[in-house]
Amino acid sequence: MKDGDNQDKRHVKLMLEKELGINIRLEKEFCESCVYGKTHRLPFGHRDRASKAGELVSADVCGPFQESFQKNRYLIVFKDNYTKFRYGYVVKEKLEVKDVLKHVIKHAKTLGHSIKELLSDNGGEFDNKDVREILCAEGITQRLTAPYTPEQNSGSEREMRTIVEMARTFKYSNPEASFPTAMWAELVRTAVYILNRAGKSSVEG
């Protein structure tokens, strides 16, 4: 197991103890193949640094999962690289990214700042006409990673891994509880809420 995996597990354990009062040994390993399918092990290199809220927002999509109770199969995460605030959405299809993007942009404005740059991989859910038009209308620069270079957006993929790891921990935290797999969406939303509470004190920067 890599150091990054150990750090993620320790972070999850700390958040569970602080926010929910759950004290648990994280013995179950995170199954990357279950989450990313054919995805690779990620090298964690240099991370982009932002100096204020909205300067750089990274995005990623994970799935497909088994259908949730609401028939959702994908998790979309946007994260402000300065405030560390993340938006987590569960959706039915990847192409709903454009609708989530509109909501994220609108919410950022209510907090008093605008998004300057969006970083994502070059998947079709991000690299398409609808997304480009939304970004152009808002004056947001789009930065797509080069093909087969996940290390260029490793922060987003690591963030996704942390969220899913925490959701899995909820599922196994009580041996007497039986959470159906279709409940993954609710567990993921809870994980995002807790991680946001553990971040910077203000998402307004």
pLDDT one-digit tens code per residue, 105-149: 999 999 999 999 999 999 999 999 999 999 999 999 999 987 655
Q: Which string of b and e fits 37-75 if b means at least 16 CB within 10 Å?
A: eeeeebeeeeeeebeebbbbbbbbbbbebeebeeebbbb
170 in any annotated domain:
yes
Q: Is the pLDDT of residue 82 over 50?
A: yes
Return the CATH number at 60: 3.30.420.10
36 in any annotated domain:
no
Confidence label for 28 from pLDDT (cuts 50, 70 and 90) = very low
37 in any annotated domain:
no
17 in any annotated domain:
no
Q: Does the predicted TM-score (pTM) go above 0.75?
A: no
Domain that holds residue 93: 56-198
Higher-confidence position of 198 and 131: 131
Number of structural domains, the chain? 1
175 in any annotated domain:
yes
CA 116 – CA 130 distance, rounded (Å):
18
The DSSP bridge partners found for residue 62 are 75
91 in any annotated domain:
yes
pLDDT at 24: 47
155 in any annotated domain:
yes
Dihedral class, residue 146 (left if φ above 0, else alpha if ψ from -120 to 50, else beta): beta
Q: Is the pLDDT of residue 180 over 90?
A: no
The string of DSSP letters for 64-125 reads: --S--TTS--EEEEEEETTT--EEEEEESSGGGHHHHHHHHHHHHHHTT----EEEE---TT
Q: Is the pLDDT of residue 14 over 90?
A: no
2 in any annotated domain:
no
